[in-house]
Amino acid sequence: IQALKAGAFDFLTKPVDLGRLRELVATALRLRNPEAEEAPVDNRLLGESPPMRALRNQIGKLARSQAPVYISGESGSGKELVARLIHEQGPRIERPFVPVNCGAIPSELMESEFFGHKKGSFTGAIEDKQGLFQAASGGTLFLDEVADLPMAMQVKLLRAIQEKAVRAVGGQQEVAVDVRILCATHKDLAAEVGAGRFRQDLYYRLNVIELRVPPLRERREDIPL
């Protein structure tokens, strides 16, 4: 985590998997040279105020990293768009961007939705199904309203992020996954940790870098008159 905060592209744990190392190098080589060309201006992120110009600059820098990013901001401030722009300006642009609203998944289906399941693993599991981690393979998984995850799921998510592998419900083996994690919530995630509703270890894993999206009232010059 300290290396990512300091600007490292990504990291590998020992023993090093050569296949994973090759994938990581290939991803890094797809990065644009910032001195060779400027990132295109995206008209979806409206506003020319200093806070918005700073936000665009931060998005460009974060797109070049593989570090998890916690996007904070009020409801309606454009957090999902910011996450999508980080994905689209980075080396994973050709791979999926998978957004998920963590508060919209029933708790009893959450593990299956995230990690997939095997046929017959529970009532209604009539066939094998891939989860969100597999759907985002090679790309970005955006966890919106991450503060709404129940504590039991927070434990499983933490393990998936640490091990970079998931096990389907009813499965016997873990499967390696290569995804970049971006997350957001309109709540104060640090306060949720303090209140005991969100795991501190998961918070530090997700909040390697925080990116705040300013509300419109803080950039009144962006309101056309």
Helix (H) or strand (E) holding 202: helix 200-206
CA distance 7 to 14: 20
SS3 call for 72: strand
CA distance 158 to 184: 16
What is the 8-class DSSP label of residue 161?
H
CA distance 148 to 101: 9
CA distance 168 to 162: 16
* pTM assigned to the model: 0.81
pLDDT of residue 222: 86
Domain 2-8+18-33+46-222 is found in CATH 3.40.50.300: yes
Burial label for 88, CB within 10 Å (0-12, 13-18, 19+), is middle
pLDDT of residue 29: 53
Helix (H) or strand (E) holding 28: helix 18-29
What are the per-10-residue average pLDDT scores of the chain (225 residues)?
50 57 58 49 81 95 95 94 97 97 95 94 89 97 98 97 94 94 96 98 97 92 80
Domain boundary assignment for the chain:
2-8+18-33+46-222
